[in-house]
Structure 1
Amino acid sequence: MSDSPCVPHELSARRREILDAAVTVLADLGWRGLTHRAIDREAGLPEGSSSAYYRSRDALQQALLEYVVGFVAADVAELAAELERRPGDVEHAVTATTTTIHRWLEQSDRCKARLELTMAATRDPDLALRLTESRQGLTEVVDGILERGGHDHSGAVAATVVAAVDGVLVSALLQPPEERAAMVSNSLDLLLGSLLGGRPGP
């Protein structure tokens, strides 16, 4: 079987099953714990199943990266389309962006897996390059929000906002589950609302 990774909607049911299990393993055990054997156990599959689809660790890691990034890209595209329907509406932009971030936080394993990939990328230039490319879509969405609001919309400003959102996600994951949504809402309200002038800070 081919080791070529696919975007989420193109995957077979078995590949999705394997990669969903890989997301859980990565979220629970970290980068070093990501092994074919651990994935097979998590998925409840016979030993050797995941290696039949992704023969090497590198192939598995690349497929997992594209799988996780694919979900983020789909959410970002959906967010961009939503904002295009109400251009210039800063209040709506803040609310829609917050809703997207809430959805990421609710998918905690996927969120943790993306953060694990980000940390791994600090030690792997190739992985860092692929992750940087994947973040560009979200940066462009934020840049468009800033532009429509009449604010400074240099790439550096948008990139800083995206980096801050990652920080909010990490901080939220450190909170008890029942407190995470409120923290995200309050943090993004301050971050985006104050920056865009759509909502006053407390």
Structure 2
Amino acid sequence: MEISTSQTIEILGTIAFAISGSFAAMQRRLDPFGVLIIAFVTSIGGGTVRDLLLGDTPVAWMRDVNYCLLILVTCLATIFFKTHIKKFKVTLFLFDSLGLGLFTMLGIQKGIIFGLNPGICIALGTITGCFGGVIRDTLLNTIPLIFKREIYATACILGGVLYYALVYFNLKTDVARLLVIAFIFVFRIIVVKYKLTLPKFGY
């Protein structure tokens, strides 16, 4: 069976966020069941919120159990290989950034399928990319990245704007998708490396 570009993006995004969630949970020394739960909510959280907003129910992971199995296998593999990976924080960051790009693009495409305007599609992309991490961090009792000074949701928004700009100039859709995913991934690495942040408000 031929796998479409959107399906490939969703599979890769699910794997990336499952790894990200697993490492975040292992950093907090959770037991294997806890690691699996965090991996699961990180992977499906954003897509679930998106589908509920769109009224597309049952949500995607309930219609296709293969995604649940994919998360399970990825989580177990991550636990098994954890002894070979020394820098948990770096690994978590890289896979989180990759998942952010993949799921942002997936959310934008879902909005387009539903015939929504570009602004709403970009918002859906941001929700799909960010909310799994929000739920993960909340369960782990940490302030979600989206609420910190670190540039996170902004990367999704800029990626969405870039996508529509590329499509406007008649670039092939698949190429535009790949460029946007790469942009969000690289952008996140750059802003963290050079400690670029948004202004902080408060007392």
Q: Which has the higher contact order (CA 8 A, sep 6+)?
A: 2
The structure that has the greater radius of gyration is: 1
Structure 2 length normalisation: TM-score? 0.35
Structure 1 length normalisation: TM-score? 0.35
